[in-house]
Amino acid sequence: MTRFTEMLRDENSDDWNASRNHRFVDEIFRGAVPADVMRRYLVQDYQFIDRFVALIGMAIATADTFDSRIRFAQFAAMITSDENTYFERAFDALGVPPAERSHPVVSAPTSGFQTLMRDAAESGHYASCLAVLTVAEWLYLDWADRPGAVLPGDFIHAEWITLHNNDGFRSFVNWLREELDRVGEAADDDSRRAAAAFFRRAVALERAFFDHIYV
Ligand SMILES: Cc1ncc(C[n+]2csc(CCO)c2C)c(N)n1
């Protein structure tokens, strides 16, 4: 049987492939994202983390097993420590002032993501929370995982890649997919449809987010 997550990705292959093969991905592996583009990207991306952690909180609350709650709790601990310091060091290197780190003007795709994460959390459905989390993680592993690729010298580029292709991240994404497969296969049609709609919105927004940093 085709995996639920495989089916969801296939249903969204246009937006998925446009993201994984995006100009940004090509440029980051070459260490060639223009500084103003990288700066816009990181300033907007940093505005995700708050809602993202809240969404993980709802996944912890609605998960059906203790093992799943532990996985998400450990992941939340990781992103509120290691990942946060990358942003701070990158903002220091790019000269981003405090106000732009904490209260930038939020772009339409960023605000779309914030709404999406809020909607998924407020649905109170584990499968829908999982669908949004899975896109945010799996799509990033998918573009960042290029075995044998030489890393760029600049840490802003290199660490944004290694944050998303290290072994811990890879095994978390694999678990997340298995979890969404498991929950999706057990769910009724309405829950599957709801999760699929969240998956679709998330992939479309990932593409729009990459597109909008090039102005
Ligand atoms: C637009 C956009 N989409 C997905 C991610 C990936 N992502 C978001 S939070 C998180 C967990 C910790 O890394 C990951 C992988 C991103 N950064 N920006």
79 CA distance to ligand 1 middle (Å): 10
Q: Which two tokens stand for residue 77?
A: 């601990």
**Ligand 1 close to Cβ of residue 209 (< 6 A):** yes
Confidence of residue 195 (pLDDT cuts 50, 70, 90): very high
Q: How confident is the model over 88-121, as pLDDT tens digits?
A: 999 999 999 999 999 999 999 999 999 999 999 9
How far apart CA 99 and CA 49 sit, in angstroms, is: 16
- Domains in the chain with CATH codes: 4-27+34-212 (1.20.910.10)
**Ligand 1 close to Cβ of residue 24 (< 6 A):** no
Atom of ligand 1 nearest to the CA of 79: 12
Q: What is the pLDDT of residue 84?
A: 76
Report ipTM for this prediction.
Answer: 0.90
Count CB neighbours of 32 within 10 A.
14
Whose CA is closest to atom 12 on ligand 1? 79
Instruction: Kindly tell me if the per-residue pLDDT of 213 is higher than 80.
Output: yes
